[in-house]
């Protein structure tokens, strides 16, 4: 995992509208984690407009209730009957718990 504190927000100029936009430290860390080499050249508004021009449709969101905390949220997939669906924070928490459990089990086996 990349340490996000080692990045600072950067101001960039959009290729299309020539306006300034902020490339946040979090976005920079995301690029690094995904192995993306090129910095963004378009502001978020111009990126969205370009996707519309190219016919890229955003994923259909489905309303669900989190199986853990009961919060109303949306997910980009059709939930399967009988399978729990979680909101973002609960999903992240469950992943952290399962990763910690897996690490303990691996060390116990060695």
Judgement on whether residues 35 and 75 belong to the same structural domain of the protein: no
Which range marks the domain in which residue 102 is found?
Answer: 62-109
Structure tokens given for 65: 């209730």
Select the more confidently predicted residue: 100 or 20.
20
Q: What tokens appear for 37 in the block?
A: 């080499």
- Predicted local confidence at residue 107, as pLDDT: 52
Q: Based on the domain organization, do 36 and 74 belong to the same domain?
A: no
pLDDT recorded at residue 110: 53
Q: Compute CA distances 29 → 2, 24, 42, 81, whole Å.
A: 6, 9, 18, 36
Residue 26 C-beta-side C-alpha neighbours within 13 Å: 0
| Residue 1: pLDDT band with limits 50, 70, 90 | low
Residue 72 scores a pLDDT above 70 = yes
Q: Where are the beta strands (DSSP E) in 1-110?
A: 10-13, 20-23, 62-65, 72-75
**What is the tally of structural domains in the chain?**
2
What pLDDT, on a 0 to 100 scale, did the predictor assign at position 13?
98
Q: Are residues 66 and 41 in the same domain?
A: no
Please tell me whether residues 74 and 97 are part of one structural domain.
yes
**Based on the domain organization, do 9 and 47 belong to the same domain?**
yes
Residues 12-40 have pLDDT tens digits of 999 999 999 999 999 999 999 999 999 99
């Amino acid at each position: 995992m990349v340490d996000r504190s080692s990045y600072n927000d950067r101001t960039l100029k959009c290729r299309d509208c020539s306006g300034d936009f902020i490339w946040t430290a979090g976005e920079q860390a995301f690029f690094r984690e995904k192995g993306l080499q090129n910095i963004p050249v378009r502001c978020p508004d111009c990126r969205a407009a370009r996707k519309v021009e190219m016919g890229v449709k955003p994923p259909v969101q489905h309303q669900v209730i989190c199986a853990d905390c009961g919060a109303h949220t949306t997910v980009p997939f059709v939930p399967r009957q009988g399978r729990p669906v979680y909101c973002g924070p609960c999903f992240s928490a469950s992943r952290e718990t399962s990763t910690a459990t897996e690490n303990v089990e691996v060390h116990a086996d060695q």
